[in-house]
A and B are shown apart, each in its own frame.
Chain A
Amino acid sequence: GAGVSQSPRYKVTKRGQDVALRCDPISGHVSLYWYRQALGQGPEFLTYFNYEAQQDKSGLPNDRFSAERPEGSISTLTIQRTEQRDSAMYRCASSAMRTAGAQGETQYFGPGTRLLVL
């Protein structure tokens, strides 16, 4: 596709349930990022991948959060035993590996998944 896509766009779940959020990056982009964005705030880094390798997960709030990108393309962010404080917009972004020129250095964001934990 032409841009980053995420699904579902909206997810309502009950506290204690597990949720899986999907990100489909721009074709050919090797870096993929997950962010969490509270209303009225800037995105907060969670984790990122180069190809299938998770490079940094220091931003994940706790061990209930995990992410994978098994084939170096689509990624899934999983939240286990959801809590109300997990409610937020979860955004995915992708970028090309560093190349000569400006375009490879830009992160393109998807529309996000709005998660509501009741």
Chain B
Amino acid sequence: AQSVAQPEDQVNVAEGNPLTVKCTYSVSGNPYLFWYVQYPNRGLQFLLKYITGDNLVKGSYGFEAEFNKSQTSFHLKKPSALVSDSALYFCAVRDGLGAGNMLTFGGGTRLMVKP
């Protein structure tokens, strides 16, 4: 079975400060890891993914995430937060061994960036 945990329901950051949104995962095989963002009344949008290779992955809108195999984590980061980054962020995982295309999502973390 595969699972994802996002331990924080909400993260509050001041504009211009660095932000981190935490994610830990559990899979049987090699993890394929994803971050998505959801703005109000919109569908999810892909931000970045880790499949293999460099542990630091760069994505859209200046976001990046670091894959840490020993800690089974894939935290989302940004060096300088913008008010427009305020949204709901989802971490997701699927088992690289196959398991169809089933992507399991975490419960989401609401990011609030204050001016």
The answer on A and B forming one complex is no
Task: Mark B residues whose CB is within 8 Å of A.
Answer: none
Enumerate chain A interface residues (CB-CB to B < 8 A): none
